């Protein structure tokens, strides 16, 4: 669906169904939060098709067998504050022991430029597959800067996950981080003059936390 090899747009009917409820301005905070979590869980399954497994010996009631498991402690989650917090539980449902780092970014409302105000990443993150999560990829500035900060910590395997993206955000990540696979549930039409995604879902942070 795009010409960029590192961008994966899901075309999953169940995700479409859930995103349509998410967009509805009459959907309340509780349902909004639950939907973000559910969509994230589905996306996590889909984005882990290339995960490296390790062999383990298992003894069934009948015999010993070699099976395959995701190595312990191999995944970390880094939400971009605030709205990315809403996706953490969705990844935790699949990887309950994943450690969590936090990157705080806000967009200057006039220039739309991202500004980093907080960064705390878990020890040993450089050896893990890191899911950077933020429901909205608008200009792509916040995600691009967050990924740069995580790469500076020596992380090699990064996956970016967003629920709704604008073409501008996708093009920015494809250009600045072509090595990072970007998983997006829905590609929207455009950004408006204020940097909001159209048709979008409004301000994800405000809808998740009830701040407006
Ligand atoms: C929103 C959203 C992303 C960013 C996307 O956060 O959660 O982080 O905007 O925009 P961009 O792609 O143009 O950078 P916001 O700055 O509103 O902060 P919040 O999560 O605290 O509400
Ligand atoms: N951030 C949001 O929360 N929504 C948008 O549409 C764009 C950026």
- How many CB atoms are closer than 10 A to CB 105? 22
Whether residue 206 is predicted with pLDDT greater than 80 in this model: the reply is yes
CA distance 127 to 114: 27
Atom number of ligand 1 nearest to Cα 114 = 14
**Predicted pLDDT of residue 42:** 96
**Where residue 2 falls among pLDDT bands split at 50, 70, 90?**
confident
The residue-averaged pLDDT of 121-140 equals: 97
What's the CA-to-centroid distance between 115 and ligand 2, angstroms? 15
The residue-averaged pLDDT of 34-60 equals: 95
User: Which ligand gives the minimal distance to the CA of 109?
Assistant: 1
**Where residue 148 falls among pLDDT bands split at 50, 70, 90?**
very high
What's the CA-to-centroid distance between 11 and ligand 1, angstroms? 24
Atom number of ligand 2 nearest to Cα 191 = 6
Q: How far is CA 113 from CA 2, 18, 110, 142, 195, in A?
A: 25, 30, 8, 8, 10
Q: Whose CA is nearest to atom 5 of ligand 2?
A: 196
Pocket of ligand 1 contains residue 142 by CB under 6 Å: yes
Q: What is the pLDDT of residues 169-197, one digit of tens each?
A: 999 999 999 999 999 999 999 999 999 99
Q: Specify the CATH number for 7-54+62-209; select among 3.40.50.2020, 3.40.50.720, 3.40.50.1370, 3.30.590.10.
A: 3.40.50.2020
**Predicted pLDDT of residue 107:** 86
Q: Using CB atoms within 10 A of its CB, is residue 91 exposed (0-12), middle (13-18) or buried (19+)?
A: buried
Pocket of ligand 1 contains residue 208 by CB under 6 Å: no
Atom number of ligand 1 nearest to Cα 195 = 13
The residue-averaged pLDDT of 62-69 equals: 97
Catalytic annotation, residues: 107, 111, 203, 206
**Where residue 212 falls among pLDDT bands split at 50, 70, 90?**
confident
Atom number of ligand 1 nearest to Cα 211 = 22
- Residues framing ligand 2 (Cβ under 6 A): 83, 136, 138, 195-197, 200, 203-205
Among residues 17, 132, 150, which one has the least CA distance to residue 80? 132
Whether residue 1 is predicted with pLDDT greater than 70 in this model: the reply is no
pTM: 0.95
Residue whose CB lies within 8 A of the most ligand 2 atoms, among 202, 206, 209, 210, for a mutation test? 202
Whether residue 109 is predicted with pLDDT greater than 90 in this model: the reply is no
């Amino acid at each position: 669906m795009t010409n960029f090899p590192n961008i994966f747009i899901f075309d999953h009917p169940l995700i479409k169904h859930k995103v349509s409820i998410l967009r509805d301005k009459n959907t309340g905070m509780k349902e909004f939060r639950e939907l973000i979590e559910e969509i994230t869980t589905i996306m996590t399954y889909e984005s882990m098709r290339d995960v490296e497994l390790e062999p383990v010996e298992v003894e069934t009631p009948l015999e010993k067998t070699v099976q395959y498991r995701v190595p312990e402690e191999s995944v970390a989650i880094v939400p971009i504050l605030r709205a990315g917090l809403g996706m953490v539980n969705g990844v935790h449902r699949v990887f309950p022991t994943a450690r969590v780092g936090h990157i705080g970014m806000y967009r200057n409302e006039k220039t739309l430029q991202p500004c980093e105000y907080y960064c705390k990443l878990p020890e040993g993150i450089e050896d893990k597959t890191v899911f950077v999560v933020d429901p909205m990829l608008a200009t792509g500035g916040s995600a691009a800067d967050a990924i740069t900060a995580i790469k500076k910590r020596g992380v090699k395997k990064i996956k970016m996950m967003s629920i709704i993206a604008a073409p501008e955000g996708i093009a920015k990540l494809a250009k600045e981080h072509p090595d990072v696979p970007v998983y997006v549930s829905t590609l929207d039409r455009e950004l408006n003059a204020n940097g909001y995604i159209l048709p979008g879902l409004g301000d994800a942070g405000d809808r998740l936390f009830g701040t407006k």
